[in-house]
């Protein structure tokens, strides 16, 4: 059937890496900056040999324009929806929030990693349809406010509408959000045209160039015309909206802001030259010291700030490779994609490279573990729904169950993420940044039977690549992952969830409420 025909072969490294445009403000003054962004349908060439693809993009482009802000800058953004009323991808109306009676195309924008007031965080039920004709139950305002209380960091923005996030992001609704600071500027890192975002995603295409997303899982659900799938893996890799692109570089240092913006796919990134990459930042900012690494694993939504040095490599090409299993970590050979993009070192050096990889960047004080206000033991679970489909839950609760996580403002908490499933789940907590304290193997069967934690190994410290400020953590199977964080500076309603979008959309998401210190709620 044509519907299910996928393009299986596309030549690699024939298109140049696009650099997303920088978003221009409507107003900028001493007090604030104001932007407007409209989500629109557009057509774009995603590969030389593919017909143009219909995409949904912020300002009509995929990925969206890069938003650059200063640390502490007050920014207002009016996000608008001018998308068609019918979704271009298969909607499953049995999924939470996507039932009949709500508009089929709903959007809401979340800046991933932003410290932001709850009304501007893109709560999944604060969605709005085209021209704000209909809005979700928690919608309160059209213009979002961002105070940007973050140090310099590599964030991204994307759709977060309840029940269709996986489809909206797949259609193209994602972009980069970079926070800069004077301090970061003083470090003399590679900058301007040598500071490049790499938004990595996987997609499949039909022969007419349209995006392919499955209507049913491998074992179709006979009662449903369209069903959510347990996870999605495309058969091509795109960077900044091009399939397997190349980038011509000068023989010098470059800074790359790498974000895994895929639905379900993990990446384990290496360079086929075997050379070191220098990691300078994690999800939420610069590390204390750079580390030389040969590989880095990025789950959906994780970021890495990397410096790659092409000095003395004139005339060579280097492939950025991937050997992460998909699904992660058990893997299925047929889903594997080994290559991401290619760097070709053949541009002349324009200026002497005076940028540096600093030996020390920012101090990251360890949060005190002795006296947390709360220790929460939270399970990651899988069960079956009424159609016999796998459904993933947090703490065995549905999205609609009463709010159970109510940290107090400015309190420090330790969360133990007890994974009882066979997948690694990237767990993302809105509002906060956290530190990974470690992971520990435990007896899953005994836990499921008796609800008793029996550790079977000692604590595994976080990988060097994870030692910094994080907002998304890989919770591996058979392990309890321990993280620590402080809740502030806002009170109100936020969410935490798995960032595999197929899981997030089908119940692996929960609200949490930051409450005032004197509140007994």
Residue 430 or residue 503: which is nearer to Cu ion going by CB? 503
CB of 472 to Cu ion, least distance (A): 11
Assigned token pair, 413? 């908490």
Write each residue from 8 to 47 as x if it is in contact with Cu ion (CB under 5 A), else as -, in one continuous string: ----------------------------------------
CB of 467 to Cu ion, least distance (A): 23
To which H or E segment does residue 504 belong? Answer: helix 501-505
Residue 230 or residue 241: which is nearer to Cu ion going by CB? 230
Q: Write the CB contacts of 375 (distance below 8 Å, at least 6 apart in sequence).
A: 413, 414, 415, 416
CB of 375 to Cu ion, least distance (A): 23
Residue 103 Cα distances to 9, 39, 82, 127, 423, angstroms: 36, 16, 13, 10, 32
CB of 412 to Cu ion, least distance (A): 26
Residue 189 or residue 392: which is nearer to Cu ion going by CB? 392
Candidates 65-73, 221-229, 440-448, 492-500: pick the segment binding Cu ion (CB under 5 A). Answer: 492-500
CB of 189 to Cu ion, least distance (A): 34
Distance, first Cα to last Cα, the chain: 55
Rg (CA), the chain: 22
CB of 427 to Cu ion, least distance (A): 8
To which H or E segment does residue 510 belong? Answer: strand 509-514
Residue 83 or residue 500: which is nearer to Cu ion going by CB? 500
Write each residue from 393 to 432 as x if it is in contact with Cu ion (CB under 5 A), else as -, in one continuous string: --------------------------------x-------
Q: How far apart are CA 148 and CA 179, in angstroms?
A: 8
Residue 120 or residue 424: which is nearer to Cu ion going by CB? 424
Helix and strand counts by DSSP (H, E) for the chain: 4, 31
The reply to whether 500 sits near Cu ion by the rule CB under 5 A is yes
CB of 238 to Cu ion, least distance (A): 22
CB of 502 to Cu ion, least distance (A): 8
- Supply the DSSP string of 343-384, one letter for each residue: EEE-SPP-S-------S-----PPPP-SS-SEEEEEEEEEEE
Residue 152 or residue 421: which is nearer to Cu ion going by CB? 421
Residue 503 or residue 510: which is nearer to Cu ion going by CB? 503
The reply to whether 503 sits near Cu ion by the rule CB under 5 A is yes
Q: 122 with 114: CB under 8 angstroms?
A: no
Assigned token pair, 300? 């959906």
CB of 155 to Cu ion, least distance (A): 21
Residue 429 or residue 500: which is nearer to Cu ion going by CB? 500
Q: 175 with 156: CB under 8 angstroms?
A: yes
Identify the residue whose tokens are 């570089």: 249
Residue 330 or residue 454: which is nearer to Cu ion going by CB? 330
**Hey, how many other C-beta atoms are within 10 angstroms of the C-beta on 32?**
14
Residue 368 Cα distances to 115, 349, 496, angstroms: 21, 47, 22
CB of 498 to Cu ion, least distance (A): 3
Determine which residue in the list 189, 498, 501, 515 makes contact with Cu ion, applying CB under 5 A.
498
Q: How far apart are CA 348 and CA 213, in angstroms?
A: 42
* DSSP β-ladder status, 374-384 and 412-419: parallel
CB of 504 to Cu ion, least distance (A): 7
* DSSP β-ladder status, 109-112 and 64-70: unpaired
Look at the alpha carbons of 68, 70, 72, 77 in this order and tell me if their dihedral is positive or negative.
negative
Q: How far apart are CA 283 and CA 434, in angstroms?
A: 10
Q: Total residues at the site for Cu ion (CB under 5 A)?
A: 4
Q: How far apart are CA 295 and CA 299, in angstroms?
A: 13
Candidates 164-172, 266-274, 432-440, 496-504: pick the segment binding Cu ion (CB under 5 A). Answer: 496-504
CB of 503 to Cu ion, least distance (A): 3
In terms of Cα–Cα distance, which of 311, 302, 98 is closest to 198? 302
- Supply the DSSP string of 199-254, one letter for each residue: EEEEEEE-TTSPEE--SS-SS--TT-SS---S----SEEEETTEES-EEEE-SSEE
Candidates 140-148, 250-258, 361-369, 502-510: pick the segment binding Cu ion (CB under 5 A). Answer: 502-510
Identify the residue whose tokens are 């690494």: 293
Candidates 293-301, 328-336, 405-413, 491-499: pick the segment binding Cu ion (CB under 5 A). Answer: 491-499
Residue 380 or residue 431: which is nearer to Cu ion going by CB? 380
Q: How far is CA 210 from the centre of its chain?
A: 23
Interface residues with Cu ion (CB under 5 A)?
425, 498, 500, 503
């Amino acid at each position: 059937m044509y519907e299910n025909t996928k393009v299986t072969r596309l030549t690699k490294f024939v298109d140049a890496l696009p650099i997303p445009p920088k978003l221009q403000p409507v107003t900028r003054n001493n007090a604030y900056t104001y932007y407007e962004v409209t989500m629109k349908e557009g057509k774009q060439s995603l590969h030389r040999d593919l017909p143009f693809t219909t995409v949904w993009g912020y300002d009509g482009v995929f990925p969206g324009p890069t938003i650059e802000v200063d640390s502490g800058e007050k920014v207002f953004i009016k996000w608008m929806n001018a998308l068609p009323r019918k979704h271009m991808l298969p909607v499953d109306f049995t999924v939470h929030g996507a039932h009949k009676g709500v508009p089929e195309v709903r959007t809401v924008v979340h800046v991933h990693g932003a410290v932001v007031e709850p009304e501007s965080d893109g709560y999944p039920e604060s969605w709005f349809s085209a021209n704000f004709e209909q809005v979700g139950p928690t919608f309160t305002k059209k213009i979002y406010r961002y105070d940007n209380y973050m140090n310099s960091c590599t964030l991204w923005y994307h759709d977060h509408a309840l029940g269709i996030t996986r489809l909206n992001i797949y259609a193209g609704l994602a972009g980069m959000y970079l926070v800069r600071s004077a301090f970061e500027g003083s470090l003399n890192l590679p900058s301007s045209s040598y500071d490049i975002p790499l938004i990595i995603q996987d997609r499949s295409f039909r022969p007419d160039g349209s995006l392919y997303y499955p209507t049913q899982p491998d074992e179709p659900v006979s009662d449903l015309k369209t069903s959510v799938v347990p996870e999605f893996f495309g058969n091509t890799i795109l960077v900044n909206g091009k399939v397997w692109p190349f980038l011509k570089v000068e023989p010098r240092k470059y800074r790359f802001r790498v974000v895994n913006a895929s639905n379900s796919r993990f990446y384990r990134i290496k360079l086929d030259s075997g050379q070191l990459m220098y990691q300078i930042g994690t999800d939420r900012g610069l590390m204390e010291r750079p580390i030389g690494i040969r590989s880095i694993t990025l789950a959906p939504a994780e970021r890495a700030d990397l410096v790659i040095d092409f000095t003395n490599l004139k005339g060579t090409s280097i492939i950025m490779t991937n050997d992460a299993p998909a699904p992660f970590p058990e893997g299925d050979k047929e889903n594997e994609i080994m290559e991401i993009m290619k760097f070709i070192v053949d541009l002349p050096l324009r200026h002497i490279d005076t940028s540096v990889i600093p030996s020390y960047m920012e101090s990251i004080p360890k949060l005190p573990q002795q006296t947390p206000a709360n220790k929460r033991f939270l399970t990651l679970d899988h069960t079956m729904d009424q159609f016999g489909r796998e459904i993933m839950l947090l703490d065995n609760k549905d999205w609609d169950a009463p709010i159970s996580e109510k940290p107090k403002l400015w309190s420090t908490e330790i969360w133990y993420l007890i994974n009882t499933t066979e997948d690694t789940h990237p767990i993302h907590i809105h509002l906060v940044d956290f530190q990974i304290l470690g992971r520990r193997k435990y007896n899953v069967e005994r836990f499921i039977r008796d609800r008793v934690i029996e550790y079977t190994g000692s604590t595994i410290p976080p990988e060097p690549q994870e030692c910094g400020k994080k907002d998304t953590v890989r919770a591996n199977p058979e392990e309890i992952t321990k993280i620590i964080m402080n809740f502030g500076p806002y009170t109100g309603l936020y969410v935490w969830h798995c960032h595999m979008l197929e899981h997030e959309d089908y119940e692996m998401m929960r609200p949490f409420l930051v409450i005032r210190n004197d509140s007994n709620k």
